[in-house]
Amino acid sequence: MSDAGIRAVKLADAAVAGDRRALARLLTAVENRTAIAEAALRRLYPSTGRAHLVGITGAPGAGKSTLVAALIAEARQVGRAVAVVAVDPSSPITGGALLGDRVRMQAYASDDGVFIRSMASRGHAGGLAATSTSAATVLDAAGFDLVLLETVGTGQSEVEVAAAADTTVVLEAPDMGDEVQAIKAGLLEVADIVVVNKGDRPGAQRTAAQLRAMLTATASPRLASAARDEAADHPRPKRPEVLVTTASTGEGVPALLAALDRHRAAGRDGLADAARLARAEAQVWAIVSERLRGRFHGAATGPATESTLRAVAEHRLDPYTAADHLLASLTGGRPRA
Amino acid sequence: MSERPIKVLIAKPGLDGHDRGAKVLARGLRDEGFEVVYTGLRQTPEMIATAALQEDVDVVGLSILSGAHMTLLPKVTRLLRERGLDDVLVTAGGIIPDDDIPALQEAGVAAVFGPGTTIAEVAAYIRSHARTPEA
């Protein structure tokens, strides 16, 4: 076994055995995409899939971190071990990041059943870091029952978390928009549960009622089942539960935990098979394209490539033809298995 | 692999409520290209050590203005050592009299930055003293 392989096995086994330092170091390796991380993930993956992966997403300031803290409290009450992966954005200019999600989650310093890890997005768009799913896999292997994936503050179309999580919770603040906002495509569409947070503010109940009306009334059960009979593989809109919470006081959080459990139980009946397959597909293809890109990129950096790129920059060549040229020179010239 | 950013925990141990300096430093280090974990006010040494361990930071920066530094800072460094984090660089800033600095260094605080220190100075110190990340 390679040196990295031996260290990976040691680190992975220690993390699974409950060594929190080893777990933290393994997560760093995952973030940095080292050879150790890859070897460890190969080893750990077969024993994962046990944790409930819950994505928490929503606009900046909607209360994601506060809700995560409230969920930790609730889950600890019933004795479940909870891990959090909290993503904040990296600066596109300096690469630096301010990771501030822990501020609201500090009450569990001496509780071994809680593990919180902040991650910078490191240039990855979509609401997570490129390595967030792998980080969740490691935490799953380490035995956490509930793994909460908190995204960066999102807009309307950062829907990546839905592919990474078993259950996706979308947070809304009261009075965030009218009914048309609720029927736009995007973030709300991927919600398994919609939470209107800051329930103590005026308008929270009305916002929830509007969302309920627009989101759950998309198709009557009869029409939905007819559609299912007609085309079993046609994607159907989700019909999310809409809940109201006040994360800062914990109000409504037990109901949210119960809703998460219900969604997970429903997923066990086969409804989540497609979601799991989609996640596997996304993961594998992401690795494939990363490796292809690395392989091509390495092989394609030369004067010929540079002059092709220059031709595109000067509008003498269109980007599609340029891409075809590059691909042909790489695959045609030197076929690969 | 691309160069990975140095990860820094900025924490405020103790009971004083003045976190403007810590926030300015956190923001400044962000602009210097560090990944900065900011944990907010009124941290116990226990909370700081746990955060440092879970986040696997390279540097712990402690901001303290309450005068309790001789009690709290050695406690933080001791907890870090107990948890095996002896390769983490610990620095402090805030209001710390010069006379106290040797004892703090003895306790494992590598550097103390007083009022007037620029963010560029702190960043340069971190870059030259923080552990080098593993491959």
pLDDT in tens, A175-191: 766 667 777 777 888 89
Burial class (CB in 10 A: 0-12, 13-18, 19+), A203: middle
Whether A95 and B83 lie within 8 Å, measured CB to CB: no
Are the beta carbons of A102 and B43 separated by less than 8 Å? no
Identify the pLDDT of residue A235.
63
ipTM reported for the complex surpasses 0.90? yes
What pLDDT does residue A174 have? Answer: 87
Q: Is residue B29 less than 8 Å (CB to CB) from chain A? A: yes
Confidence check: pLDDT of B91 > 50: yes
Angle at B89 between CA A132 and CA B113, to 5 degrees: 120
Q: Is the pLDDT of residue B2 over 50?
A: no
How far does A231 lie from chain B, in Å, by closest CA? 46
Per-residue pLDDT at B83 exceeds 80: yes
Interface membership of B71 toward A (CB under 8 Å): no
Q: Are strands A241-244 and A52-58 parallel, antiparallel or unpaired?
A: unpaired
User: Distance between CA atoms of A137 and A12, rounded to whole angstroms?
Assistant: 12
In chain A, where the domains are located: 1-47, 48-269
**Residue B75 amino acid letter:** K
**pLDDT tens over chain A, length 337 residues:** 688 889 999 999 999 999 999 999 999 999 999 999 999 999 999 989 899 999 999 988 889 999 999 999 999 999 999 999 999 999 989 999 999 989 888 888 889 999 999 999 998 888 888 899 999 999 999 999 999 999 998 877 778 888 889 999 999 988 766 667 777 777 888 899 999 999 999 889 998 998 888 877 655 555 555 555 444 556 667 788 999 999 999 999 999 999 999 999 887 666 567 777 878 888 898 889 888 888 877 777 788 888 999 999 999 999 999 999 888 887 765 444 3
Chain B interface includes A25 (CB < 8 A): yes
* CA diameter of chain A: 67
Task: Specify the CATH superfamily of domain A48-269.
Answer: P-loop containing nucleotide triphosphate hydrolases (3.40.50.300)
pLDDT of amino acid A337: 39
On whether the CB atoms of residues A138 and A44 are closer than 8 A, the answer is: yes
For residue B135, the distance in angstroms to the closest alpha carbon of chain A comes to 7
Among all residues of chain A, which has the CA nearest to that of B47?
A109
The CATH number fitting domain B7-129, selected from 3.40.50.280, 3.30.360.10, 3.40.50.300, 3.40.640.10: 3.40.50.280
Q: A108 contacts in B (CB within 8 Å)?
A: 50
Phi first, then psi, for residue B54 (nearest 5°) are -65, -35
Distance CA B120, CA B7 (A): 16
Residues of B in Cβ contact (< 8 Å) with A28? 56, 133
